[in-house]
C-alpha cells in the first residue's frame, strides 16, 4: 500500500496510469498512455523499458530506472514519437551506452537526473524539449557522441552538467540546426588531449545564459555551421565560432577564434584570439593579444594588444597598450594607444592613420608623411605635420 501512496503523492491529479515494478523488467510499452514507476526498475544488461508506441508518458515518480550494456534504460523504437519521460533518475551504478534513446520526433524529457552513460544520456530526434535535467558523470567515448544529443528544432532549458565529458573529444551538448539552448551550466567537465566540447551547435541556433565553472580552459564551445546567437554567456572555455554569429552581453575567459561575419558587442573577453575574415567588435573589453582578420571593424573598445592583420580593416575610437598592424589599406583612426607598430611600414601602401594619440614617448611608429601611400603621418618630433596638421596625430 505504501507504494501506491508513494505513487499517488506525485500523481494527485488523476488515475488510470499503468504502474510499473521491478518485476516487470524488461517491459515493453505497446500502447499509448501513462505509465508510472512505483519502485526502481533496474536491468543490468539491456533496456529496462522498450517503447513501441507513440504518445507515451513515463513518470519515474521519483524512482530510478537503469539499463545496461549497449542499450539504455529507456529505448524508443523506430517510428515512435512524442515520448515523455519525467521526474526521476536515469542510469546510476550500471554502465550503459544510453540513458534515454529516443530518436523519434517531439519527445519531452524533463526533471531528470541522468548518470553513467557512455554514448548519450539523452539522444533524441527533432523537435525535442529537454528541461530541468541534471547530467552527472556521463562520459561519451567517441568524438561523435554527446551527453545530450538533440535533433533539429529542439529546446534545451535549465540543464546542468557536472563531471561529464571525456578525453575523446565528445560534446556535452550536440544539436542539429535551429536549436535553443538556454540556462545551461557546466562544471568539472572532463578535459584532456581531446577536450570535451561544451556545445556543438548547428547553424541558426540561439544559446543564452550559458555558464561554466571549474572548467579546464581547454574545453570548447563550437558551432558547426551557419551563424548563431550567443548571449548572456559566462564561459571559462575556448569559444570557436568559425561561421560567425552574434555574441552579446557575454564574458568569455578562454582562447577564442571567430570566423567571418561575427559581431561582438558589449562583452568582456579575457583570452587571446586569432580571428579570420571580417568581424565587427564594439564596446568590448579584451585585455589580451588579439589578432583580427581581413576587413574587420573594431570600434570603441579596449583591446590590450591587437594585431590588425590581413588588409582593409577599420580600427576606430579604441584604447589599448599597443597596436600593431600589417597588410595594406587599413584605416586607423582616433585611437589612444601606447605604441603603434606597422611591421611593413615603407613597403605596403595605403594606410590611413589619422587623429590618433600615442601615449608613450619611448616607442614610435615608422609611418612617414605622404610617402609610399601612407596617408596619415606622424613623426616623433611632431614637426612634419606642422605645415597643415591635417592628420592630427599627436604624441604624449
Q: How far is the CB of 216 from other proteins (least distance, A)?
A: 28
Q: How far is the CB of 95 from other proteins (least distance, A)?
A: 22
Q: How far is the CB of 247 from other proteins (least distance, A)?
A: 9
Decide: is 394 part of the binding site for other proteins (CB under 8 A): no
Decide: is 9 part of the binding site for other proteins (CB under 8 A): yes
> How many chain residues are in contact with other proteins, going by CB under 8 A?
99
Segment near other proteins (CB under 8 A), from 115-123, 160-168, 284-292, 323-331?
A: 323-331
> Residue by residue, what is the 3-state secondary structure of the chain?
CHHHHHHHHHCCCCCCCEEECHHHCCEEECCCEEEEECCCEECCCECCEEECCCCEEEECCCCEEECEEEEEEEEECCCCCCEEEEEEEEEEEEEEEEEEEECCCCCEEEEEEEEEEEEEEEEECCCCEEEEEEEECCCCCCCCCEEEEECCCCEEEEEEEECCCCCECCEEEEECCCCEEEEEEEECCCCCCECCEEEEECCCCEEEEEEEECCCCCCEEEECCCCEEEECCEECCEEEECCCEEEECCEECCCEEECCCEEEECCEECCCEECCCCEEEECCEEEEEEEECCCCEEECCEEEEEEECCCCCEEECCEEEEEEECCCCEEEECCEEEEEEECCCCCCCCEEEECCEECCCCCCCCCCCCCCCECCCCCCCCCCCCCCCCCCCEEC
Q: How far is the CB of 220 from other proteins (least distance, A)?
A: 20
Q: Which of 67, 72, 126, 140 binds other proteins (CB under 8 A)?
A: 126
As a whole number of angstroms, the distance between CA 156 and CA 160 comes to 10
Decide: is 111 part of the binding site for other proteins (CB under 8 A): no
Q: How far is the CB of 114 from other proteins (least distance, A)?
A: 20
Decide: is 208 part of the binding site for other proteins (CB under 8 A): yes
Cross-strand partners of 117? 96
Q: How far is the CB of 142 from other proteins (least distance, A)?
A: 26
Decide: is 92 part of the binding site for other proteins (CB under 8 A): no
Decide: is 173 part of the binding site for other proteins (CB under 8 A): no
Return the number of the residue (105 or 170) whose C-beta is nearest other proteins.
105
Q: How far is the CB of 16 from other proteins (least distance, A)?
A: 4
Asked if residue 247 lies in contact with residue 264, where contact means CB atoms within 8 angstroms, the answer is yes
Decide: is 297 part of the binding site for other proteins (CB under 8 A): yes
Decide: is 15 part of the binding site for other proteins (CB under 8 A): yes
Q: How far is the CB of 127 from other proteins (least distance, A)?
A: 4
Decide: is 328 part of the binding site for other proteins (CB under 8 A): yes
Return the number of the residue (12 or 193) whose C-beta is nearest other proteins.
12
Of residues 32-91, which lie at the interface with other proteins (CB under 8 A)? 32-35, 50, 54-55, 57, 59, 81-82, 84
- Contact pattern for other proteins over residues 336 through 375, marking x by CB under 8 A: --------------x-x-x---------------x--x-x
Decide: is 23 part of the binding site for other proteins (CB under 8 A): yes
Decide: is 211 part of the binding site for other proteins (CB under 8 A): no
Q: Which of 67, 92, 195, 278 binds other proteins (CB under 8 A)?
A: 278
As a whole number of angstroms, the distance between CA 73 and CA 343 comes to 61
Amino acid at each position: 500500500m505504501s507504494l501506491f501512496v508513494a505513487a499517488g503523492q506525485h500523481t494527485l491529479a488523476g488515475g488510470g496510469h499503468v504502474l510499473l515494478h521491478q518485476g516487470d523488467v524488461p517491459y515493453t510499452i505497446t500502447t499509448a498512455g501513462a505509465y508510472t514507476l512505483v519502485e526502481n526498475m533496474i536491468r543490468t544488461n539491456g533496456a529496462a523499458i522498450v517503447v513501441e508506441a507513440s504518445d507515451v508518458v513515463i513518470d519515474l515518480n521519483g524512482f530510478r530506472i537503469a539499463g545496461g550494456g549497449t542499450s539504455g534504460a529507456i529505448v524508443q523504437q523506430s517510428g515512435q514519437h512524442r515520448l515523455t519521460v519525467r521526474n526521476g533518475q536515469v542510469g546510476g551504478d550500471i554502465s550503459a551506452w544510453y540513458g534515454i534513446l529516443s530518436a523519434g520526433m517531439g519527445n519531452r524529457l524533463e526533471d531528470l537526473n541522468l548518470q553513467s552513460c557512455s554514448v548519450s544520456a539523452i539522444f533524441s530526434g527533432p523537435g525535442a524539449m529537454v528541461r530541468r535535467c541534471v547530467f552527472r558523470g556521463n562520459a561519451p567515448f567517441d568524438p561523435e557522441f554527446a551527453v545530450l544529443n538533440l535533433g533539429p528544432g529542439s529546446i534545451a532549458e535549465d540543464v546542468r552538467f557536472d563531471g561529464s565529458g571525456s578525453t575523446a573529444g565528445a560534446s556535452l551538448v550536440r544539436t542539429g540546426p535551429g536549436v535553443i539552448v538556454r540556462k545551461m551550466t557546466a562544471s568539472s567537465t572532463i578535459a584532456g588531449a581531446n577536450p570535451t566540447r561544451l556545445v556543438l551547435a548547428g547553424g541558426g541556433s540561439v544559446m543564452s545564459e550559458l555558464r561554466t565553472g571549474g572548467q579546464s580552459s581547454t574545453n570548447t564551445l563550437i558551432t558547426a555551421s551557419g551563424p548563431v546567437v550567443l548571449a548572456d554567456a559566462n564561459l571559462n572555455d575556448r569559444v570557436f565560432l568559425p561561421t560567425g554569429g552574434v555574441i552579446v552581453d557575454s564574458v568569455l575567459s578562454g582562447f577564442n577564434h571567430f570566423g567571418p561575419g561575427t559581431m561582438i558587442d558589449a562583452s568582456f573577453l579575457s583570452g587571446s584570439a586569432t580571428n579570420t575574415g571580417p568581424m565587427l567588435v564594439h564596446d568590448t573589453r579584451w585585455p589580451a593579444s588579439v589578432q583580427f582578420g581581413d576587413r574587420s571593424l573594431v570600434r570603441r573598445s579596449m583591446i590590450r594588444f591587437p594585431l590588425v592583420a590581413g588588409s582593409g580593416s577599420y580600427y576606430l575610437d579604441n584604447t589599448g597598450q599597443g597596436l600593431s598592424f600589417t597588410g595594406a589599406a587599413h584605416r586607423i583612426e582616433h585611437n589612444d594607444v601606447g605604441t603603434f607598430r606597422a611591421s611593413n611600414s615603407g613597403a605596403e601602401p595605403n594606410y590611413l592613420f589619422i587623429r590618433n594619440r600615442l601615449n608613450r614617448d619611448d616607442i614610435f611608429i615608422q609611418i612617414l608623411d605622404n610617402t609610399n601611400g601612407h596617408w596619415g603621418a606622424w613623426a616623433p618630433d611632431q614637426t612634419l605635420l606642422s605645415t597643415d596638421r591635417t592628420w592630427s596625430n599627436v604624441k604624449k
